[in-house]
Amino acid sequence: MTSHPDLSALTDQQVVAVALQGVESAYRELLRRYQRPVFSLIYRMVRDRELAEDLAQESFVKALNALDTYRPEFKFSSWIFKIANNTAIDYLRKKKPATLSLEGRREGGGPEEPRPIALPHPGGSPLDELEARELGSAIEQAIGQLRPEYRACIILRHIEGRSYEEIAEILELPLGTVKTYIHRARAQLKQILGPLRE
Amino acid sequence: MERPPFNPEQPEDRFDEQDRLLDLHLAALPRFDPSPGFADRVMARVRLPRPLVAAEPWYARPLVLGIRVQRLAAALAAMAASASTILTAWLAANSDLVVRATGRYAIGLVSLAQQELGRWSGQGAQAVLRVGAEFFGAANWPALAALALGALAAVPLSLLGLYLASRPPADRRLSHATR
């Protein structure tokens, strides 16, 4: 295997080009860059850690084994998010999941280690920390109540910071539909959460 | 609660303090890490391509990678190209026959047109038959049949080969992502 120590300095497209030479470290670099956002997206979509791991793994295997079909004139992030979102949506369409907490506890199933969600409150009191964590948890639950399409839009826009155009490309939706979905999703979130405070 | 009035062109038109706070809290939500060893589990299922692939343009990579449909397409295109080459060679070798046959046909048509200008009658129909008989009588039927079949086969095979070669993989969504 050829050594490519400076892969982290390359663009996604360049890393893909190196990967297509059969360089395993380039594949690992792509995984390193996208495993968190892809896993987070799927986790928030299906709301089950174990299942999200399986689906994220499936998405990466699908993408990396089809890397030769990736066209470098398009964003790699859009490509991988599209595959991940399609994998999650396919699962949700096939099987309506049971109500789950984002912390991964299956109702009636075995307990999982909860993951605390805390907003950054520099210098905040323990009470602030607790409130922030509760609010974060409430927001996660509210996102979980949205329709999968709305959920994907909100996650990609507000958590992953993607542009409307990129979301439209990822979700294969018209730009106007994406804007509408995000607007409605936000309205629903505000309705579920009630008045918010800083 | 009733949904607020909404203009799809301006989704931020009701941006207020609650929206700002919602943005703030959403942006603060963390990303999650998969469990340790996730990358290793993925890599265990990934087929690394042969180095040759990188040197190929994107549209030729499937051929190198050996995708079945693409290999079939390449075979069909090669068959069509071979058939076209053989036909061209045959036409070059038998140009006299082709010229004679088409020449007679053309002369016959001109003569017929001249006759028809003067008189359109039963004789005109006879002239059509006579020219037709001359043309078809002069033709080398086995050779013409081979020519026609070859041409008929070459065109659709070429088109099919090109179509299959340019076709995205079976997974529509995956290929769509590469559009």
What pLDDT does B140 receive?
Answer: 64
Identify whether the C-beta of residue A136 lies closer than 8 Å to the C-beta of residue A196: no
pLDDT band per the 50, 70, 90 thresholds, residue B18:
confident
- Find the residue in B nearest to A142 (Cα): B26
Cα–Cα distances (Å) from A196 to A120, A121, A157, A192, B9, in that order, read: 16, 16, 20, 11, 26
Task: State yes or no: pLDDT of B179 exceeds 80.
Answer: no
What pLDDT does B80 receive?
Answer: 78
Q: In sequence order, which residues have a C-beta less than 8 Å from that of residue B45 and are 6 or more positions away?
A: A57, A61, A65
* Predicted-complex ipTM score: 0.79
d(CA B164, CA B71): 9
Chain B CB contacts of A57 below 8 Å? 38, 41-42, 45
DSSP-assigned states of every residue in chain A: ----TTGGGS-HHHHHHHHTTT-HHHHHHHHHHHHHHHHHHHHHHH--HHHHHHHHHHHHHHHHHTGGG--TTS-HHHHHHHHHHHHHHHHHHH--PPPB-TT-PBTTS------------TT--HHHHHHHHHHHHHHHHHHHTS-HHHHHHHIIIIIS---HHHHHHHHT--HHHHHHHHHHHHHHHHHHH-S---
d(CA B101, CA A137): 86
For B11, the 3-state DSSP assignment is: coil
For B127, the 3-state DSSP assignment is: helix
Paired tokens of B92:
């070059």
Chain A CB contacts of B25 below 8 Å? 119, 135-136, 139, 196
CA angle B58, B60, B66 (to 5 degrees): 115
Strand partners, A106: A100
pLDDT band per the 50, 70, 90 thresholds, residue B177:
very low
pLDDT digits (tens, 9 = 90+) for A91-128: 998 876 554 555 444 443 333 333 534 444 455 676 77
Record: contact B54-A21, CB cut-off 8 A? yes
Paired tokens of A176:
């106007």
Phi then psi for A106, rounded to 5 degrees? -80, 130
State pTM to two decimals: 0.58
Chain A CB contacts of B178 below 8 Å? 69-71, 74, 79
- Find the residue in A nearest to B3 (Cα): A187
Residue stretches of chain A with pLDDT short of 50: 1-2, 99, 103-114, 116-121
Report the 10 Å Cβ neighbour count for B163.
13
A125-134, B33-42, B51-60, B94-103: least confident range: B51-60
Strand partners, A100: A106
Compute the average pLDDT of residues B157-175.
59
What pLDDT does A118 receive?
Answer: 44
pLDDT band per the 50, 70, 90 thresholds, residue B145:
confident
What helix, strand, coil percent values describe chain B, rounded to 5?
Answer: 70, 0, 30
Considering only CB atoms, B8 lies closest to which of A115, A140, A179, namely A179
Phi then psi for A148, rounded to 5 degrees? -55, -35
Considering only CB atoms, A70 lies closest to which of B171, B173, B178, namely B178
Burial of A81 (0-12, 13-18, 19+ CB in 10 A): buried
Compute the average pLDDT of residues B51-79.
63
pLDDT digits (tens, 9 = 90+) for A58-68: 999 999 999 99
CA angle A75, A79, A82 (to 5 degrees): 135
DSSP state, residue B139: S
